[in-house]
Amino acid sequence: MPADLRTINTAGVLCHFAQATRYTQFTLHEQNQKWSTPIVLVVSEELPPGVITHAQAAQPHKGGIVEDSRSARAALGVELARSAGEIARRWFDTSALAVESKQDGSPVTQADREIEQYIRAQVAEHYPDDSFLGEEFGETTGTTQYRWIVDPIDGTKSFVHGVPLYANLIALEEEGTIVAGVINLPSADVLMHAERGKGCWKNGKQVHVSDKTELDGAYVMATWLEDWHPDSIVDLQSAGAVIRTWGDAYGYMMVASGQAEAIVDYTTQAYDLAPMPVIIEEAGGMFTSLDGARDFNGGNGIASNGAVHDSVLKIVNQG
């Protein structure tokens, strides 16, 4: 074996991978027989607690078939988000980034398209019958109970202006319910993920929402304030809340990790919010649309620590 390769045993399968990079693709082998259809995965050399690889979650079988399970897909989602972050950082650090405008006036870049194409290709390789919804290339309908929902770069305006609070978002929906989600903030070096019943994890440490019960001193995030009714801003401030425009996925990460109490989005698409229900709820909080429904596809959303949810919802719904 070459000196630059290491060997590990994962789920009874001998695996070789190069030490040269932090996240490296490798091919699974049996001890004495290469698989007829090798499976290429991405792993971290030093995985933090609470993170499992797709190789660990998906029990392999000869012929390259992996276990058809929620946890295997959730683990793959985390790995794909990490790889998406590497692509994003490459574009973020270059002056060659070209920005175009979509029909709705929102910006799109080569990075958005390259990341979504990469994630689509990887999902199609591992789970070709799953459905897939992405911001840049629309929806592909599959035949399983699973649908992947991807925003390759959430916060493209931040991305193109050199603000390091953009994110890669991946969600897994099972029979209409979001069961796993990932928020990756590559330039901030933060990855948050959750799976139903397994908690919410930020850089390998389990996190929880804050225990603040009053609006006085509560931090309420907004992606932007243009949609807000002026009375809502005044009433929140009168109640002692602190309003900050640390929005997009970054704001939801702050709520889930207890750094803020709520975030309100008046105008969204499904791929903007898809990971948020499972991430916020597994951290002990609450996510709803602005009409109080447990729905990420209603064109708006609010996430909170739960204790201040009704108070914020009442104020932001006026006008």
Residue 183 or 50, more confident? 183
Rounded-to-integer distance, Cα 99 and Cα 2, Å:
43
Which pLDDT belongs to residue 111?
87
99 pLDDT above the threshold of 70: yes
2-11, 195-204, 243-252: lowest mean pLDDT where?
Answer: 2-11
Domain ranges of the chain: 5-57, 70-206, 219-316
So what's the pLDDT on residue 38?
Answer: 37
Residue type present at position 218: A
Lowest mean pLDDT among 47-51, 64-68, 124-128, 140-144: 64-68
Residues 270, 133: contact at Cβ < 8 Å? yes
Supply 279's token pair.
Answer: 């991430």
CA dihedral 83, 87, 93, 96 (to 10 degrees): 180
Structure confidence at residue 302 as a pLDDT band (50, 70, 90): very high
| pTM listed for this prediction | 0.79
pLDDT (0 to 100) of residue 110 = 87
N-terminal to C-terminal alpha carbon distance within the chain? 69
Helices (H), 93-214: 110-126, 156-160
Q: Which residue has the tokens 């994003």?
A: 88
Nearest of 54, 45, 111, 48 to residue 80 by alpha carbon: 54
Q: Which of 21-35, 117-131, 171-185 comes out lowest in average pLDDT?
A: 21-35
Work out the average pLDDT over 261-288.
Answer: 96
Residue 237: helix, strand or coil by DSSP? helix
Mean pLDDT of 281-310: 96
Statement: residue 24 has pLDDT above 90? no
What are the C-alpha distances in Å from 297 to residues 23, 175, 261, 267, 301? 33, 14, 22, 11, 9
Place of tokens 């309420």: 220
- How do residues 200-252 score in pLDDT, each as one tens digit? 999 999 999 999 999 999 999 998 898 899 999 999 999 999 999 988 999 99
**CATH class given for the domain over 219-316:** alpha beta
Token representation of residue 164? 């390091």
pLDDT given for residue 318 in this prediction:
81
Cα 269 from Cα 280, distance rounded (Å): 18
Bridge partners, 182 (sequence order) = 170, 193
Question: Higher-confidence residue: 294 or 6?
Answer: 294
pLDDT of 108 over the 50 cut: yes
Task: Give residue 50's pLDDT.
Answer: 52
Q: Return the closest-CA partner of residue 44 out of 11, 75, 4.
A: 75
User: pLDDT: is 64 or 71 the higher one?
Assistant: 71
The model's confidence at residue 77, banded by pLDDT at 50, 70 and 90, is very high
- Tell whether the model's pLDDT for residue 168 goes beyond 60: yes
CATH architecture of 70-206: 2-Layer Sandwich (3.30)
